Structure formats: structure tokens, C-alpha cells
Structure 1
Amino acid sequence: MANANSLSQLALQKFKKNFWGVLSFWFVVLGVLLAIFAYALAPDNSQNANQQHISIHSKKPGFKATILTIPSKLEQEQSFLDKLLFGKEDNSTELPIVDYKFEGESIIVTPYTDESIKGLPKTYSFASFPKGLTKTEIESQFINEQTFLLGTDKYGRDLLSRMLVGIRISLSIGFVAVFISLLIGISLGALAGFYGGKIDAAIMWLINVTWSIPTLLLVIAITLALGKGFWQVFIAVGLTMWVEVARVVRGQVMSVKNMQYVTAARALGFTNGRIIVKHILPNILAPVIVISAANFAAAILIESGLSFLGIGAQPPMPSWGAMIKDHYSYIILGKAYLAIIPGLGIMSLVMAFMLIGNALRDALDVKS
């Protein structure tokens, strides 16, 4: 045990000396924190950051607009935790305006429009707002200037809010897909490597068949079989990523199953299950950890590709891949940032996990 602890400490020290590995690790930690507190940080904290303002669509980063909010009379009570995890159930209407004035018990506003023709004035009575509010209170609570730091998308939604909420999809698909791949891959790989014979032949046949099918094609087939949706994509990606884990685990188990400590465990009468779980697997986890980091990055790319094809996370759920799909045509219209910003998000997150994987490989001194 002392030796194991000393090896772990040595690996940790080697990892800490890898600048890019440590930087990527803290970048991923930042991404996880942003994902957890996305709705608390997002300017648009409605569910899926889906508050649309069609009149101010496709605006450049830093665009400012005066927004009139008409509150909904169907507001529902929500706990703080519910708002933090799922966003505010906001049924209010937001209207970008150019100017406004009060007349009697009404407010007259001029809607924002891109065209040279001035928007037709709209009148809202004080009955549209909570009772008992004065003009000053209505002005301070329901009329405010918003700055869209990353601009707006083609539906007039705040791009920064969509990016913050969208990171949840990318990180979630990574965690779930890696968990499923580890669960299946370690189980089948350990069984094949430990028992050999017909069990090994059958599992290897399954591995080779799965490996021979293009990953994206297999994911599409599973997704279509399970249906379009959030969790279906998670399961589909996870079911395609276990193969490499199983092959590595099988090879590692075959190389250590005749070691002296395994022989000693057999002599003590331990069951095969206990020998595999308690003695073999803890000693072969190093390469599995490295593969998991690479699989995490691959899962993010696959999900982005599926969302780009329209069979990933479904609208209005924000997905970086779907955001690229919605705006890739804007690249030739002088608004390339609408596709570049989510593309940079995907690239930076994938690169961070790849760099972490490289750093772990060096720290654990894994030879593949």
C-alpha cells in the first residue's frame, strides 16, 4: 500500500510539472463551474436561454438595446435550486424598443426595427404590469438597457447565454459516455483477458465487429433506433466508445493474470471475481485513465457532429454543434462569428482534454 501511495505521489508530482496539463486541468474545472452555475451567470436565465428578440437578430458582439419586459400573469413559483439547474420558467415577453413615453395610464413604445421605416407605436396599459406600480417603478423594473457581449443569434437570442448553457451538453455527454464505455469496456475486457478460451473468442468477435463499423454511422443508427433526444445521444455515444477500453483492459489483464500476487490470491482461495476486482483492475487503471481522457474529447466531437446533422440535442436546447449548424451560412454574409464562437468553444474543450490525456500519459509512464 505504501508503495502504491508513493507511486501515486510520484505521478502527481510529474503531472504538476506539465504546464499544459495543469493549465488544461484548470480550464476544464472552470468549464465545469460555468456549466453548474450557467443560469446564475447567463444574462438570459430563461430555460434553455431561449428568450427571442427577432427584431435584433444577428447583431455583432457588444450590441446594446433597450428592452421592455411585459410580465406574464402565469408566473410559477420556483425554488432557487430549480432555477439554478433548469433556468427560470419565464413566460414574459421582451420587446426591443427605440423610445417610449407615458400617457395617462399607458406607456407608448416604438419597437426597434432594422429598416429605415420607423416601427409602429404600441400601447400597453398599466394593467399589463403588477398592480400599484408608479411610472418610475415601471420604468426602473421593466425597462432596461441590455448589452449582448457576444451578440445575438439568428433568432435574436443572447449568444453568451446560449454558450454558457451549451457547455452543459458537451461536458454531460463526455461524463456519461465515458462512464458507459468504462462500465462495458472494463467488464468485457477483464472477462476476456482473465478467462481466455471461448469467452475471449466471443468477446473479441464482438469487439472486432463493433470496431469495423464507422463510429458516426453506428451512433446515427443507435440514435435513430432510440429516437432523437438528449439522453438517447448520451447512450448512443457511450455504446460506441467501449471497444478501445475493452481491448486495452484485455491486454493488460492477460499480462498480469500470471503475476505472483494473482497466484498468491488464488492460493488463498479468493474467488475469480474478487481477484479481478480487488487485485487485477487496480493495477491496470493507468492506461484506462489515459484512454478515458481521449474518449471524453471524442465524445464531445461526436455529439457536436450529431447536433450539426440534426440528430443530437433537439431545439431549443442549446448545443454548440447545433449553433454551428444554424449559422454556418452566415460565414459568407460577414457574420462568421456566429459560427466561429461555438466552434472555438468545441475546439478549446477538446484540446484541453487531449492535453490532459497527454500529461497523464507522461505522468503515469504508460506505454501503449
Structure 2
Amino acid sequence: MAVTAAPPTTAAAARPPGYYVRQRLWQNRPAVAGLAFIALCTLVALLGYWVLPDNSPNANHGFVQIQKEPPGLRVLLLRQPLPDSSRTGLAPANIFSTWLRGREPEVQETPIGGYRFAGDSIVLKPLGEHSAEAGRQRRLALAAVVGHAGSAAELQREVKARHLTTRTYALGTDKAGRDELSRLLLGTRISLGIGLVAVLISVVLGMAVGAVAGYFGGWVDSVLLGVMTVVWSIPGIMLVIAISLALDSKGVWVSFVAVGLTMWVDVARVVRGQMLSLRSATFVEAGRVLGLPTSRLIARHLLPNMRGPLIVLATSNFASAILLEAGLSFLGLGVQPPAPSWGLMVKEGYDLLGTEAGVWLTLLPGAAISLLVLSFNLLGNGLRDAYDPKTPVAV
């Protein structure tokens, strides 16, 4: 029986263009570092309240006794049952509602400077100069703290085990005594959410307007180009103010939509320019001869050829949207309190400049904004080089 040997392989199998794009991107270390930081922020934003030290709604649970304290603060807290009047207003919490809106505190917490037991009572030492009872100790019955009666020894053991806890504020507290770390982490959800919505609105609207203007040309192109020029000449802040006034609201979602509607012109101009250069290409003429509908020709054959420039522009717009939202919140025109927007947190720290607390309350959210915007810019530069076929790639 004769055995026929397989012909030797003379060339490596052809790889798709996407393989070389990924290889160029992975070779760009700054871009990979930016992508890693964006992925980390995205994970924090997705987990949301599940990973926050303070998972109350908007991380807004603060104490007047520990306002504007520096990072590394450790506080002793006494936990007591909520009054019946407060407990009746609590909605039942579950995993999904906690992820979406946070969880209302189920106990009443009080920062204390120290304690001692006196029979069936606990004597509390007030904490901080802001306390209304500074210099005067407070006595509570152990049964009121625990919520049931019992012997003094049993109640003291239960108070120590379940009703006294120490909490660490790694990044200190703000002017309302709220956990700065929790508000910074929750701020990633707002910043990335506004960036994502703004990019989606700008890409969809910009692609539609730019594609129609570039493909049809003539008077259609002239009219749409005039609209783009007018919108381009209006400052983004003025557009956001006009949209907020038109919608008669300053909510979070209004900020999302308003920022998105100010950024579509960049996408439209790029798509229009690419469309003008591609509409006379051979494959487009072949599609017209075959009788393909105009909508299919644009959506299935022309727009996919602009994937590279659009991805690069989307990352740039993402960074611009984060900066625009931070600037609007700083001016009081964006996300409204008590939502933890990074721009609003910078404003709160800026109002305290001249005090020791104002330094870190301004620098921490400012550094978060800078790092996230820098990461998107590094990723955008890396994607630009990755989609350039002239960039060398190691195979």
C-alpha cells in the first residue's frame, strides 16, 4: 500500500487584519496600562455599592463629629437599633436593589471617643469638638442599646461583641463627615456612565448625519455641513445649559444626554470626510450596479470601513465627556448633590482651600479625573497606532 506524503507548508496561514491590530496594541505599553486602569475603573463601577465601605444611597451617610478628618482616621462606633418610626420607612433590601441604589442603614451609629460600663448602663465619651455634648458624658441603658433585657454581664458581653465596632476611613472624610473613599469609588460609576452615554449618542447621531451628508453630497451636504458648523461654534457649556433649560431638569440623566448632544459634530465631520473619499470606490459602484439599497450600502459596506477612526475618536470623546461633566458639576450645572460626582467633589474641596482638609479633598478627586482621562488618551493613541498598517508588528 503506497503512502502519499502531504506537501510541505511553504508559508504561514494568512491572519486577519484584526490580529495585527491586537498585536500592535499589546506592544504599546502605555496604551495597555491605560486599558488596565480603565478596566479596573469599569469593574469598580459595575460592582458599585457592593464594594463600598459605605453602601448607603449616594454614599451619603456622614457624621457631624468627624467632619474634614484626614486620611487614616479610625473611629469607634456604637450601633443601636433604629427607632420604630425610622424602621417602618425602610424598603426591603436585596442584592439587585443594593447594587442599583445602595442600602439604607439598618442600625443607628454614633461615633464615640470611648466608653465604660456602669452596672446595667454604658457611659459614652463624646467624640470631637463638633459634638453638641462635647465635654459632657452620656449614659445609656444597656437594654436600650441591645434591644432586649438581660443580666448586666450578658448585656455587656453582647454590647462588646455586636454593638461596638471600629471603622477606618482610609481617605478621610469630607465636610459632611462622609467617607471620601466610598464617594470616590462611586464617582467612577457617574463618570464612566456619562462617558458611555455621551459616546453612544455622539457616535450614533454623528454617523447618521455624517453618512448622509457625505454620501449624497450636493445641497444635502451643504445644509448638514452648515448645521454642523453652527453647532461647532456654540460652546459646549452653553449647549448643556440650553438643553437643561429645555428639559427643565438638572438630573443625572439630563447631564448624560446633554453631554452626548454636544459631542456628535466631531464624529459627523470624520464620517463625512471618509464617506466623501469612499463613495466613488469600486466596491460602492459595484453595489449600485447590483441594485443594493442605499441604506444597506451605507450600513453594511461603507461604515464598517471607518471602524478604526471611529474607535479612536470614541476614546477621545470618552475623555472629553468626563472632563466636560466634571467642569459642569464644578459650576453646579451638572450632577446635583448628594450624588458623588468627581467634579462636585473638587468644588467642595475647593471651597475649603486654605484649610488642611481642602488640600486632600481637592487633590483626591482631581487625581482621579486626571488618571482616567490620561488612560483614555493613552488608549486612544495606542489604537491610532494599532490601526496604522505602517506601524511595525512583532509576529
TM-score by length of 1: 0.94
CA offset digits 1:252-273 (Å, max 9, x no partner):
0111111111111111111000
- 1:36–1:85: 8 Å Cα contact kept in structure 2? no
Mapping of residues 285-300 of structure 1, within 5 Å: 285-300=307-322
- 2:146–2:158: 8 Å Cα contact kept in structure 1? no
- Give the structure 2 partner of residue 15 of structure 1: 25
Cα distance, 1:8 vs. partner? Answer: 1.2
Q: 1:340 aligns with which of 351, 358, 363?
A: 363
Higher mean alpha-carbon deviation, 5-14 vs 299-308, is at: 5-14
Q: 1:119 aligns with which of 126, 135, 143?
A: 135
How far, CA to CA, are the matches of 2:14 and 2:60 in structure 1?
Answer: 50
Where structure 2 has 5 or more consecutive residues not aligned to the other structure, the ranges are 1-12, 391-395
Q: 1:363 aligns with which of 376, 379, 386?
A: 386
Cα distance, 1:108 vs. partner? Answer: 2.9
The aligned length equals 365
How far, CA to CA, are the matches of 2:224 and 2:389 in structure 1?
Answer: 25
Matched, 1:310 2:332: yes
How far, CA to CA, are the matches of 1:203 and 1:90 in structure 2?
Answer: 53
How far, CA to CA, are the matches of 1:5 and 1:85 in structure 2?
Answer: 43
- Give the structure 1 partner of residue 164 of structure 2: 143
Matched, 1:79 2:94: yes
Cα distance, 1:24 vs. partner? Answer: 0.5
How far, CA to CA, are the matches of 2:180 and 2:144 in structure 1?
Answer: 32
- Give the structure 2 partner of residue 206 of structure 1: 227
Secondary structure of the corresponding residue to residue 284 of structure 1: helix
CA RMSD of aligned residues (A): 2.1
Between structure 1 and structure 2, the one with the greater Rg is 2
How far, CA to CA, are the matches of 1:215 and 1:292 in structure 2?
Answer: 17
Matched, 1:225 2:243: no
Higher mean alpha-carbon deviation, 74-83 vs 101-110, is at: 101-110
- Give the structure 2 partner of residue 26 of structure 1: 36
Secondary structure of the corresponding residue to residue 113 of structure 2: strand
- 1:287–1:366: 8 Å Cα contact kept in structure 2? no
Matched, 1:48 2:71: no
Distance change >3 Å, CA 284–CA 118, structure 1 → 2: closer
Identical positions, percent: 43
Higher mean alpha-carbon deviation, 211-220 vs 4-13, is at: 4-13
How far, CA to CA, are the matches of 1:124 and 1:231 in structure 2?
Answer: 46
Q: 1:263 aligns with which of 282, 285, 304?
A: 285
- Give the structure 1 partner of residue 9 of structure 2: none
Amino acid in structure 2 at the alignment position of 1:362: D
Secondary structure of the corresponding residue to residue 109 of structure 1: strand
Matched, 1:331 2:353: yes
Secondary structure of the corresponding residue to residue 337 of structure 2: coil
Higher mean alpha-carbon deviation, 192-201 vs 67-76, is at: 67-76
Where structure 1 has 5 or more consecutive residues not aligned to the other structure, the ranges are none
How far, CA to CA, are the matches of 2:236 and 2:29 in structure 1?
Answer: 33
Matched, 1:188 2:209: yes
Higher mean alpha-carbon deviation, 274-283 vs 326-335, is at: 326-335
TM-score by length of 2: 0.87
- Give the structure 2 partner of residue 249 of structure 1: 271
Cα distance, 1:182 vs. partner? Answer: 0.6
How far, CA to CA, are the matches of 2:384 and 2:228 in structure 1?
Answer: 24
How far, CA to CA, are the matches of 1:142 and 1:355 in structure 2?
Answer: 48
CA offset digits 1:148-185 (Å, max 9, x no partner):
10011011111001101111110000000000001100
How far, CA to CA, are the matches of 1:45 and 1:4 in structure 2?
Answer: 52
- 2:197–2:256: 8 Å Cα contact kept in structure 1? yes
